[in-house]
């Protein structure tokens, strides 16, 4: 077994028994909108729906608009000069794609204007204990994305993982130089939970070391604030505008 993999496995075993303390979090140290990514990944999403989402994102200065890959160039054009970033997905939503396909996806989408790539982890290979495969894939993706000036988030699909697998996935993503770990695609059996955000933040360390993104089922201000308090830097939701309005109404 590779030395790095051995160290990751041993650390995961230690963390399974006792997680590190939660790093110091400064909730809402910046505008709430900067924590939010608005997303539309429905198979029946249309250009008109993307245009509407981009207009809302610009009005509210939401961090990133995530769209299906076919709409990356359109989204880039609509958001030009707004300060709102463009995001899309690779290996979505199952993760079980050959690495070379994920790499070609990322390179193409970045060339068309994407700033951020959210890649789905190969859950089956993780469960099979093929940790070297996982590490190599994320490293290759991170290198490809970073060379083109982008950010890479690794979607772990936490609902499908055991506690040990969650910890290993976080440690592998960190060791491979990904920028974020992310809870969910929103297309599986469950979405983000406060407990998973807490675990991810404890495993990867403070926000200046690695980001944590929650996604799936974030439909209210209360849920969003709980996740930010637990350590989330970003939250993916199709209801970003409504959450911001709820926040404004309570101020």
> Per the domain annotation, does 109 fall within a domain?
yes
Encode pLDDT of 191-239 as tens digits: 999 999 999 999 999 999 999 999 999 999 999 999 999 999 999 999 9
By percentage, how much of the chain surpasses pLDDT 70? 100
Is 19 inside a domain boundary? no
Of 129, 153, 123, 112, the closest CA to residue 8 belongs to 129
The pLDDT score that the predictor gives to residue 107 is 98
Report, as residue numbers or ranges, the catalytic residues: 118, 182, 213
Give domain status of residue 20, yes or no: no
**Digit-coded pLDDT (tens) for 115-165:** 999 999 999 999 999 999 999 999 999 999 999 999 999 999 999 999 999
The total domain count for the chain is 1
pLDDT of residue 169: 98
Would residue 173 count as lying in a domain?
yes
Please indicate, yes or no, if residue 149 is contained in any of the structural domains. yes
What CATH number does residue 103 fall under?
3.20.20.70
pLDDT number for residue 1: 66
Tens of pLDDT, residues 29-69: 899 999 999 999 999 999 999 999 999 999 999 999 999 99
Q: How many angstroms separate the CA atoms of 73 and 164, rounded?
A: 39
Residue 27: the pLDDT is 74
Nearest residue to 134 via CA among 178, 93, 164: 178
- Residue 61 belongs to some domain of the structure: yes
C-beta of residue 192 within 8 angstroms of C-beta of residue 215: yes
* Owning domain of residue 162: 3-8+30-250
Kindly report the pTM of this predicted structure. 0.96
């Amino acid at each position: 077994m590779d030395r790095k993999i051995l160290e990751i496995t041993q650390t995961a075993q230690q963390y399974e028994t006792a997680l590190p303390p939660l790093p110091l979090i400064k909730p809402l140290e910046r505008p709430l909108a900067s924590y939010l990514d608005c997303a539309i990944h429905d198979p029946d999403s249309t250009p008109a729906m993307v245009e509407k989402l981009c207009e809302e994102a610009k009005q509210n200065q939401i961090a990133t608009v995530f769209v299906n890959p076919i709409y990356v160039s359109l989204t880039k054009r609509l958001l030009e000069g707004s300060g709102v970033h463009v995001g899309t997905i690779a290996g979505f939503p199952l993760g079980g794609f050959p690495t070379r396909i994920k790499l070609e996806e990322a390179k193409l989408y970045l060339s068309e204007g994407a700033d951020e790539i959210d890649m789905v982890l190969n859950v089956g290979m993780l469960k099979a204990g093929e940790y070297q495969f996982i590490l190599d894939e994320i490293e290759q993706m991170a290198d490809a994305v970073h060379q083109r000036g982008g950010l890479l988030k690794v979607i772990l699909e936490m609902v499908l993982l055991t506690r040990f697998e969650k910890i290993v996935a976080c440690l592998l993503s960190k060791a491979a130089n990904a920028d974020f770990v992310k809870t969910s695609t929103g297309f599986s059996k469950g979405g983000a939970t406060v407990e998973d955000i807490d675990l991810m933040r404890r495993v990867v360390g403070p926000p200046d070391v690695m980001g944590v993104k929650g996604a799936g089922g974030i439909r209210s201000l209360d849920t969003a604030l709980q996740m930010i308090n637990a350590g989330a830097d970003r939250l993916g939701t199709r209801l970003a505008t409504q959450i911001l309005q709820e926040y404004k109404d309570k101020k």
